Amino acid sequence: MKKYLLIAVLAVASLAAYAQPRAIGGRIGYGVEFSYQHGLGESNMVQLEVGVPGFYGLEAACTYDWIDPFNATVPWEEKGEWHWYMGVGGAVQTGFKFDYGFIGAAGRIGIEYDFWFPMQLSIDFRPTLGVAFNSEKAAFGYDLYGGGLGIGVRYKF
């Protein structure tokens, strides 16, 4: 009996995970990034990006975003849907030769358009604030360009 209960719980959990909207694609700004969004209900999502900022290193950023946080709607909805989103998270960055690094908090604010077919376009701003370091010293810093302003194109599934 326990075996069947376990199988039923795993089946329901996998269906619940599969039912969440997801999107995969790219983001172009001060570099290029691989972008993945995973919906957590109708009003939240986790967004992960890995890329090469300015083509001189590697970076990763992950934010927890609230969708339409102020219930503000965009009046133009021809066939698709507009959504505002904003969130917080973390970011890390390093050079290709590991001669410098950055670790800190990331913020995000943006808007996206979900087409009636499985595609989405977005524009957002993702500044970071934290500690930058190299082989000689560590210092408080910010990176408005690494994540900065970006345009995203994603396939929804």
What kind of fold does domain 22-156 have according to CATH? Porin (2.40.160)
Farthest CA pair distance, the chain: 62
34-68 confidence digits (pLDDT tens): 999 999 988 999 999 999 988 888 999 999 999 98
150/49 Cα distance (integer angstroms): 11
Residue 16 pLDDT > 50:
no
Q: How far is CA 116 from CA 27, 43, 73, 78, 138, in A?
A: 21, 19, 17, 10, 48
Residue 17 pLDDT > 70:
no
Q: Percent of the chain, pLDDT > 90?
A: 47
66-104 confidence digits (pLDDT tens): 998 887 766 776 788 888 999 999 999 998 888 888 899
Domain boundaries, the chain: 22-156
Q: Which amino acid is at 120?
A: Q
Residue 5 pLDDT > 70:
no
pTM tops 0.85, yes or no: no
